[in-house]
Amino acid sequence: MEKLIITCAISGAEVMKEHNPYVPYTVQEMAEEAYQAVMAGASVIHVHARYDDGTPTQDKDRYKEIMDAIRVRCPDVIIQPSTGGAVGMTRDERLAVADLCPEMATLDCGTLNFGGDDIFVNTENDIIHFAKTMQDKKIFPELECFEKGHIDTVLRLHRKGIIKAPMHFSFVLGVNGGMTGEARDFHFMRESIPLEATYSVVGIGRFEFPLAELSIAHGGHVRVGLEDNIYLEKGVLANGNKDLVLKAVLLAKKHNREIATPKEARHILKIKEHTT
């Protein structure tokens, strides 16, 4: 099997320090958490920008501060900003970070109920606009799919030439309103994408490590981090993102998967091929 790409989602837009004190808000905290995650084995750092009080923001100047600070500590890492932002943000707000032309960013591929009255809106026109903007700016998209219909949308837009190959999917499982994180859900998603596509799995909460192990065993990649899960095991808070990355590394060793460096991750995902 090819080497394992570990993405670490260091902050998110919803989890707060009262949930886990290691959730980073400030620029310095973001850079430190990214550094610790990279030292543990992450080759991709997924970032949601926050202000110092924890408020989520898609302000591109704040993203630039954070990304510049991470690059100082981790010069080779792939920095993957979110274009999902937070519930209620406009299309233009969410996509502002694209002006910084990061080498990679997330592209959410469908609308989802997030519980209560919260709806994470991604219309077909939103998806097309995001995809075309990323293509124009040579940003490699990670195609975030919360259920099977989102994959079908991607494949339909791919046939129309709107979403280009190489395609890298992210199966986000266990979110309220989306597919659950059972093994059957993982296999259904994995078997629904083209053989030549790559994929990573995001398990929310208690699904994080069972799904990570399934993905590792079947040749996929993984995302862990405080955005998705604040516990190392039931009732035990993680002492930062590094703990979650190290647990993924241990699972990789169990299944004889070597860990990809950032350079190797770019080769596996064909990022350079996409952007040249």
Angstrom distance (rounded) from CA 145 to CA 112? 10
Give the CA angle between residues 265, 170, 212 to the nearest 5°.
Answer: 80
CATH homologous superfamily of 6-275 equals Aldolase class I (3.20.20.70)
- Output the six-digit token pair for 83: 């274009």
pLDDT the model gives residue 274: 52
Q: Is the dihedral of CA 22, 71, 129, 272 positive or negative?
A: negative
Cα–Cα distance between 253 and 181 in angstroms, integer? 23
Would you state the pLDDT for residue 276? 43
The one-letter code for the residue type at 110 is G
- Report helix, strand or coil for 6: strand
CB atoms within 10 A of CB 182: 15
| Three-class HEC string of 119-172 | EECCCHHHHHHHHHHHHHCCCEEEEEECCHHHHHHHHHHHHCCCCCCCCEEEEE
Beta-bridge partners for 78: 44
Q: What is d(CA 266, CA 43) in angstroms, rounded to the nearest whole number? A: 9
Mind listing the pLDDT tens digit of every residue in the chain (276 residues)? 899 999 999 999 999 999 999 999 999 999 999 999 999 999 999 999 999 999 999 999 999 999 999 999 999 999 999 999 888 889 999 999 999 999 999 999 999 998 889 999 999 999 999 999 999 999 999 999 999 999 999 999 999 999 999 999 999 999 989 999 999 999 999 999 999 999 999 999 999 999 999 999 999 999 999 999 999 999 999 999 999 999 999 999 999 999 999 999 999 999 975 554
- Burial of 232 from C-beta contacts in 10 A (0-12 / 13-18 / 19+): middle
pLDDT at 273: 55
Which H helix or E strand runs over 39?
helix 27-40
| Helix 148-159 with 183-190: angle, nearest 10 deg | 10
Question: Of 138, 127, 66, which Cα lies nearest the Cα of 102?
Answer: 138
Could you give the CA distance from residue 42 to residue 65 in angstroms, rounded to a whole number?
21
- In whole angstroms, how large is the CA radius of gyration of the chain? 17
Cα separation values, 119 from 110, 114, 152, 249, Å: 11, 6, 20, 34
pTM of the model: 0.96
Cα three-residue angle 107-110-114, rounded to 5 degrees:
105
